[in-house]
A = this chain, B = another copy of it.
């Protein structure tokens, strides 16, 4: 090792020691435990996938999870197969009847959204749930199939230690305002444009 290398390494060590001191101080100041209202929105990929990651992480701790799927897609076979391995910990309700352009029936879509929200409210009342995923709730809110005021009131009335994750593009401002943690997934580059189809393990 040359003298220059030694200098670089020493400078690095000193800088990192300072950073560690700051980080430790910050972590020590974070003491609150709180059930979070989390929103994943934006037009990019990963909104539902990251929520599903939180679901799996929670299951890894042996804690209970509820999932209400507001829009039934065609692509959740991989997720469903994993969730079925944890029948004692997971309750899944698929309430939507397909994409709006598949059902082509607005009345039925509204009825399905209302039934799904009723399920969500019932799950929020369960005393032992650690995480509740309201998948694609933003989609039905954007279409005004559910009252945003009603939904935000319901979410704010949740048990203090329950985490709720809401996904879907175009989250309404009222929901973002009410949320604790909001992440926007932004599309930088997408292979779909190049004729690549939806693939096993990636999209479904």
Q: Measuring CB to CB, which residues of chain A are less than 8 angstroms from any residue of chain B?
A: 8-9, 12-13, 16-17, 19-20, 23, 27, 29-34, 36, 38-42, 44-46, 48-54, 56-63, 77-82, 85, 100-107, 130-131, 163, 176, 179-192, 194-202, 204
Q: How many copies of the polypeptide does the oligomer hold? A: 2
| A103 / chain B contacts, CB cutoff of 8 Å | 16
* Beta-carbon nearest neighbor of A8 in chain B: B106
Q: Which residues of B contact A54 (CB under 8 A)?
A: 49, 201-202
The 8 closest A-B pairs by CB, nearest first: A60-B78, A57-B78, A49-B53, A58-B201, A46-B50, A182-B188, A53-B53, A50-B50
18 additional A-B pairs beyond A34-B199, A61-B201, A182-B189, beta carbons within 8 Å, are A8-B106, A13-B105, A13-B106, A16-B100, A16-B103, A32-B197, A34-B196, A36-B196, A38-B202, A42-B186, A45-B183, A46-B185, A48-B53, A49-B50, A49-B53, A50-B53, A56-B56, A60-B80
